[in-house]
């Protein structure tokens, strides 16, 4: 008998990544297309299903189940989307599972993308040898996920683990969720870049200005990291300040859960040691009730395939469970 295969899809605001793979985390076929979410749910889901069928044909297999990650909140039990802030079109209460199952000819499970990536880390990444795991995806937003004692913690709404939306500064900047001073509003890519733009605008970051050729709109954390590496202290201080906020957010979670490992992924982690070292130091400084030296804080080994691998793990569970 040939090996069972599973399908995984990571639906994002700009692209749909899909893969066919095996339960041991081997991706046998992989592809991506633009989301074009202005087409609305039915258009997007139709193309998503076509992508899965094409990959299945390419791999010469019939996937036993599909695990799908979406950028927002979902009704996990019913496979219905609830709140997808980064997708244009009306995505509230879309019965994604019911729409997709007849088109992909297998059971479909739907999870928030950061929780799906957490399942990927737990099954195939740094979590393989861990019981309790915390994941943060650092990019345009700050996504999060938690696994406790080997099981993904979803909560009744699949919303548990939104680490980016804990309050860090009570009267801090407004967040996309409506709260003030969330970790995301202080330490996401755009939040940090806005501080770089401010420094550039008031003439205090000449090196950063050179790097972006005077174009304020071109400032991202990448250019800020380059300016910091070339000795622009004021820019470096802004980065460190944001990474200390991140460290405080992680220290709060470490105090509550005492996880084995905290996994960081997303574009911001490309900054490397300045981020990791600052976070590690801040966690040690802020967790005082027990020595947090045994809590590993690591960069993901799975990179942007974590959610796809989580999709394989989820669909492998679904296929066994039905």
Where does this chain bind Zn ion (CB under 5 A)? Answer: 165, 175, 177, 179, 182
Q: Which is nearer to Zn ion, 99 or 175 (CB)?
A: 175
Phi, psi dihedral angles at 117 (to 5 degrees): -65, -35
Which residues have C-beta within 8 Å of that of residue 272, sequence separation ≥ 6? none
Q: Which is nearer to Zn ion, 119 or 142 (CB)?
A: 142
The C-alpha atoms of residue 319 and residue 316 are separated, in whole angstroms, by: 5
Q: How far is CA 130 from the centre of its chain?
A: 19
Residue 144 Cβ, how far from Zn ion at the closest point, in Å? 11
Residue 138 Cβ, how far from Zn ion at the closest point, in Å? 14
Residue 160 Cβ, how far from Zn ion at the closest point, in Å? 15
The total number of residues written for the chain in this structure: 322
Residue 13 Cβ, how far from Zn ion at the closest point, in Å? 17
Phi, psi dihedral angles at 158 (to 5 degrees): 65, 15
Phi, psi dihedral angles at 195 (to 5 degrees): -70, -40
Q: Which candidate, 125, 80, 151, places its Cα nearest to that of 264?
A: 125
Q: Which is nearer to Zn ion, 56 or 146 (CB)?
A: 146
Residue 177 Cβ, how far from Zn ion at the closest point, in Å? 3
The C-alpha atoms of residue 150 and residue 133 are separated, in whole angstroms, by: 8
Q: Which is nearer to Zn ion, 184 or 232 (CB)?
A: 184
What is the helix (H) or strand (E) element at residue 195, kind and residue range? helix 189-201
Q: Which is nearer to Zn ion, 125 or 249 (CB)?
A: 249
């Amino acid at each position: 008998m040939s090996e069972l295969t599973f399908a995984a899809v990571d639906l994002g605001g700009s692209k749909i990544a899909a893969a066919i793979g095996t339960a041991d985390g081997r991706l046998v076929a992989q592809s991506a297309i633009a989301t074009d979410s202005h087409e609305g749910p039915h258009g997007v889901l139709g193309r998503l299903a076509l992508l899965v069928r094409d990959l299945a044909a390419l791999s010469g297999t019939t996937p036993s189940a599909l695990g799908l990650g979406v950028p927002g909140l979902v009704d996990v039990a019913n496979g219905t989307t609830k709140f997808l802030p980064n997708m244009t079109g009306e995505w509230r209460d879309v019965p994604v599972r019911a729409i997709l199952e007849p088109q992909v000819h297998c059971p479909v499970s739907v999870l928030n993308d950061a929780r799906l990536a957490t399942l990927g880390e737990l099954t195939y990444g740094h979590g393989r040898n861990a019981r309790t795991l915390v994941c943060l995806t650092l990019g345009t937003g700050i996504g999060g996920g938690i696994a406790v004692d080997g099981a993904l913690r979803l909560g009744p709404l699949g919303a548990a683990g939104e680490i980016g939306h804990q309050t860090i500064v009570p009267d801090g900047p407004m967040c996309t969720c409506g709260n003030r001073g969330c970790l995301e509003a202080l330490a996401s890519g755009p939040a940090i870049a806005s501080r770089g733009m401010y420094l550039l605008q008031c003439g205090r970051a000449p090196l950063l200005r050179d790097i972006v050729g005077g174009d304020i709109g071109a400032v991202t954390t990448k250019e800020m990291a380059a300016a910091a590496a070339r000795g622009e202290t004021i820019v470096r201080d802004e980065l460190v300040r944001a990474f200390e906020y991140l460290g405080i957010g992680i220290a709060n979670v470490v105090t509550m859960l005492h996880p084995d490992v905290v996994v960081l992924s997303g574009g911001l982690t490309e900054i490397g040691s300045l981020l990791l070292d600052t976070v590690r130091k801040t966690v040690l400084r802020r967790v005082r009730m027990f020595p947090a030296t045994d809590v590993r804080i690591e960069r993901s080994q799975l990179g942007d395939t974590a959610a796809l691998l989580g999709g394989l793990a989820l669909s492998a569970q679904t296929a066994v469970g039905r």
